[in-house]
Amino acid sequence: MSESALIVVDMLNDFVDEKGALYCGQSSRDAIPFIKSRIDAFRKSGDLVIYLQDSHAEDDKEFEKFPKHSVVETWGHQIISELAPQQGDIVIQKRRYSGFFETELSDLLKRHNIQDVEVVGVCTNICVMDTVGGLANRDYNITVPRAGVADFDSEFHEFALKRMDKIYGANVR
**With a threshold of 0.75, does the pTM exceed it?**
yes
73 HSE (CA, 13 A, CB side): 2
pLDDT of residue 1: 55
Domains defined along the chain, listed by start: 4-172 (3.40.50.850)
Q: What residues pair up with 144 in beta bridges, in sequence order?
A: 172
Residue 114 has a pLDDT of: 98
Each residue's pLDDT, cut to its tens digit, for the chain (173 residues) gives 569 999 999 999 999 999 999 999 999 999 999 999 999 999 999 999 999 999 999 999 999 999 999 999 999 999 999 999 999 999 999 999 999 999 999 999 999 999 999 999 999 999 999 999 999 999 999 999 999 999 999 999 999 999 999 999 999 99
pLDDT digits (tens, 9 = 90+) for 11-41: 999 999 999 999 999 999 999 999 999 999 9
